Structure 1
Amino acid sequence: MSPRTAHTTVAVHPLLAERWSPRSFDATHTVTDEELVSLLEAARWAPSARNTQPWRFLVGRRGDTTYQQILATLVPGNQAWAGNSSVLIAAVAAERLENGTAHHGAAYDTGLAVAHLSVQAHALGLHAHQMGGFDPERLRVSLDVPDGYRPLTVTALGALAAADLLPEELRVRETAVRERRPLAETFFAESWGKPLPAGP
């Protein structure tokens, strides 16, 4: 068991318990073509309401133009470490259905696709770190995202490197104890705020 494994109330699948979002990536690592396609297939087969599949992804590999364009949209705090990742992927959601009506579940479905991608990354021995700290409008303009599509997140993917390689502030966050809100404060039944009467 990794020291980063989540301390869950009861056992969950190791792929979930051991998944975490590092900032220290190996700047020499390369994701293979097969690994990349595996990650994208995992996202492609995520659940989708009415099979509308509102997600689109802009994929950059370290050194190519797409990678540099995505990296340039990140806030400085994320640029400081994300540039060492092997791949940067921007997730974009279609805001309208084919008939022109609003797609109210687009962000939800796209989030599911990114979640599948992140779990598949861990299954491959890779790591993923999702970020909301980026400039959506700059990404839209620099990568020609059409109207009606909303950039939601950027995910850094790659192989883990030592936390010691990070600046001190980030190193502290990288090695901090992993925590989550207790079950009783998150899952309710009968009325809002009343804990679900299940589990230890």
Structure 2
Amino acid sequence: MSQIIHEFIDKRWSPRAFSNREIEVEKINALFEAASCAASCFNEQPWRFIYASKEYAERYDQLLSCLVEFNKLWARNAPVIMMALTSKKFAQNQKINHYARHDLGLAIGNMTIQATSMNLYLHQMAGFDSDKAREVFDIPDDFDIVSMIALGYLGDPKQLPENIREMESKERSRRSTDKIIFDGNWEQLK
């Protein structure tokens, strides 16, 4: 990576191997505080989180039950699991908030950088059953369930099933900036 970007951005990674080390309450609170500082359209802050540590076993198991089987295999080792949601409408006028998912992304971005600064790691997941989540947590229709997140300290990849261990050891790769910056040639961006 570039020498210019911040070290926490360069260090950010989405592991699947998590330590069972408990996360200090102050650190969890700092993550949500970082999320709350994110920019949002009209300062709406449309994001919401449902989370549990293993100490709150009932809610933790409920969150874990919403994941697809593949994600359950490794996420069950994370000491904290979260669900990220957005309000579909602006509170001020009840109009559709087309920017809510973007704003949630900014909030989770802040959370991720804060986590990295404390040697914690997040792994966002799209592999979950939103219908089950809506039922388990009685989530109203005016909220979108966007992603789930495993959170913890790094663990030993040897604890993972072999097929997942192989995924964990792959070299991190990113698209080069010439593949993400438009200069008039759409073919170049594919």
Task: Give the TM-score band, short-chain normalised.
Answer: over 0.9
TM-score (norm 2): 0.93
Whether 1:71 and 2:64 are equivalent positions in the alignment is: yes
Q: 1:155 maps to which residue? A: 149
Match in the other structure for 1:11: 4
Q: Which amino acid is the alignment partner of residue 39 of structure 1?
A: L
Q: CA deviation at 1:192?
A: 3.5
TM-score, length of structure 1 as denominator length: 0.89
CA distance in 2, matches of 1:56, 1:71: 18
Count of matched residue positions in the alignment of Structure 1 and Structure 2? 187
2:46 corresponds to: 54
SS of the aligned residue for 1:130 comes to: strand
Cα separation, 1, equivalents of 2:74 and 2:13: 16
Using the alignment, how far apart are the partners of 2:23 and 2:2 within structure 1?
34
Structure scoring higher RCO (CA < 8 A, sep ≥ 6) equals: 2
Q: What is the percentage of aligned positions where both structures have the same residue?
A: 35
Residue pair 1:47, 1:112 contacting (<8 A) in 2 also: yes
List runs of 5+ in structure 1 lacking aligned partners.
1-7, 196-200
Gaps of 5+ in 2: none
Tell me the equivalent position of 2:29: 37
Q: Following the alignment from structure 1 to structure 2, what is the Cα–Cα distance between the partners of residues 158 and 140? A: 25
Aligned equivalent of 1:93: 86
CA deviation vs aligned residue, 1:143-184 (integer Å, no higher than 9, x gap):
121121011001100111111111111111101111112221
SS for the counterpart of 2:50 is strand
Name which of 95, 104, 107 aligns with 1:110.
104
**Aligned equivalent of 1:119:** 113
Question: Could you tell me which amino acid in structure 2 is paired with residue 38 of structure 1?
Answer: A
Letter in 1 for 2:68: V
> 2 CA distance for matches of 1:193 and 1:47?
32
**1:128 and 1:157 in contact (8 A); partners too:** yes
Moved over 2 A (4+): 189-195
CA-based RMSD of the aligned residues comes to 1.4
Corresponding position of 1:178: 172
CA, structure 1 residues 85+16, in 2 after alignment: closer, same or farther (shift >3 Å)?
A: same
